[in-house]
Structure 1
């Protein structure tokens, strides 16, 4: 019994990956509620439970996609507009160092290679980037926010909750793609959500049923061995 539970949990974790092509198939709202209820068992400092989740589908989802895609296309045409779309916290470092930059490049070129996007094909890259803001055609977008008054720990807490969401979704036959790219357009997102001014966008997750026929979903990122990142000390 215990072995079966371990295998089920391990399978859910290891089979989860970022899906970048979804089917046009609706998701039962009750299933999403069940996922969020389970995910809310994530730990949080002094049980603050800092997360708030906006579940966006239907016409509201389409409005969100339309507005953010419009902003992204304008930004591509006029890069100087980047000053108008600054994220509220730095997700990535200002300067990349080894070995992280190599892993980042491997990830990027692995994905582009699969999609037959060659180095220097900026328009194709831009179109693929735009797919982020189309939620990769997922019918549901989950927008995670925290209160601005909270500290950095709240982002650690909500990150654990988001992981729970993705695993709980996986075992229910659903797939996800967590996205930090939306954070640059937080002002638009929060406006569409009619969110209070004291909220900060932390992450967006596309949710739906993966398209099993799309080649992009065959892209699975590698992981380094435990011996490369873990230090065991007993003295």
Structure 2
């Protein structure tokens, strides 16, 4: 698949088929993605791959912990995120479109809670990925992980697999750390679902809008 085709075909999938993925293919995708660049070639990404019983245990324990209303329901590290325009409108537009496809009306808190909980089921994908990074690397380590994840998603798409990057896995990090034996000196940054899209699920028809070039690019020195 040409890189342009992979970019246009890739989208966040929120309902997967249970079809298993061969370990050799998973290894190939992760290894190929490691060709991604990183600042001064530090290659800081750590990937924890779960499937089968390990996946079931992680999902079960995080969901059970989530129902207790624990103190670690937020980010493990400061996100420094302020929801202002134009970012707020883009976020709300995506949420409105997605929840409309899911048939969840605005204000239905119990349905919202259940749907958000599907993040911690990897949206039924057979493979779950948890990404961590050494705490000493600072914000640039997060940039490097983002580059690796994007590369991974494109490599996966070029091989017929779908994905969904999930910031939600930065929550309830105490359970994830314990279950996967992630060292205390690493941040749990985010997760990702990996598998084959359920083409019958209405939510997978969602295509998020993209801003025009003129809204984010400034050209200097061109005649």
Distance 1:146 1:21 in 2: 27
User: Aligned match of 1:74 in 62, 68, 72?
Assistant: 68
Work out the CA distance in 2 between the residues paired with 1:110 and 1:92: 26
Cα distance in 1 for partners of 2:147, 2:80 equals 18
SS at match of 1:176: strand
Q: How far did residue 73 of structure 1 move?
A: 2.4
Shift of 1:87: 1.5
Which stretches of structure 1, 4 residues or more, deviate above 4 A after TM superposition?
none
TM-score, with length taken from structure 2: 0.95
Aligned 1:33-52 pairs, distance under 5 A: 33-52=27-46
For residues 107-151 of structure 1, what are the alpha-carbon distances to aligned partners after superposition, in whole Å with 9 as ceiling and x for unaligned?
A: 111111111111111111111111111110001101111111212
Aligned match for 1:89, one of 72, 77, 101: 77
Query: Contact (CA 8 Å) 1:91, 1:180: kept in 2 or not?
Result: no
The answer to whether the 8 Å contact 2:72/2:173 transfers is no
With normalisation by structure 1, the TM-score equals 0.91
Q: 2:159 is matched with which residue?
A: 172
Which of 199, 207, 214 is matched with 1:212 structurally? Answer: 199
Please give the alpha-carbon distance, in whole angstroms, between the structure 1 residues aligned to 2:192 and 2:134: 18
Structure 1: distance between partners of 2:72 and 2:154: 35
Task: Supply the distance in 1 between the matched residues of 2:13 and 2:131 (Cα, whole angstroms).
Answer: 18
Contact 1:148 1:200 in 2 (8 A): yes
**Residue aligned with 1:88, SS:** coil
Cα distance in 2 for partners of 1:84, 1:217 equals 30
Map of 2:217 onto structure 1: 230
Does 1:147 find its partner at 2:134? yes
Deviation at 1:92, TM superposition (A): 6.3
Cα distance 1:91–1:27, how it changes in 2: closer, same or farther (>3 A)? farther
Q: Following TM superposition, by how much is the alpha carbon of 1:187 offset from its aligned partner in structure 2, in angstroms?
A: 1.3
Q: Deviations over 1:83-103 (max 9, x none)?
A: 33331223461x311111111
Matched residue count: 222
Question: Is 1:99 matched up with 2:86?
Answer: yes
Shift of the alpha carbon at 1:33? 0.7
Following superposition of structure 1 onto structure 2, how do residues 115-194 of structure 1 map, counting pairs within 5 Å? 115-194=102-181
CA RMSD for the aligned pairs?
1.3
Partner of 1:207, secondary structure, is strand
Q: Give me the whole-angstrom Cα distance separating, in 2, the residues matched to 1:120 and 1:196.
A: 39
Please tell me whether residue 18 in structure 1 is matched to residue 16 in structure 2: no
CA contact (8 A) 1:87 1:183 kept: yes
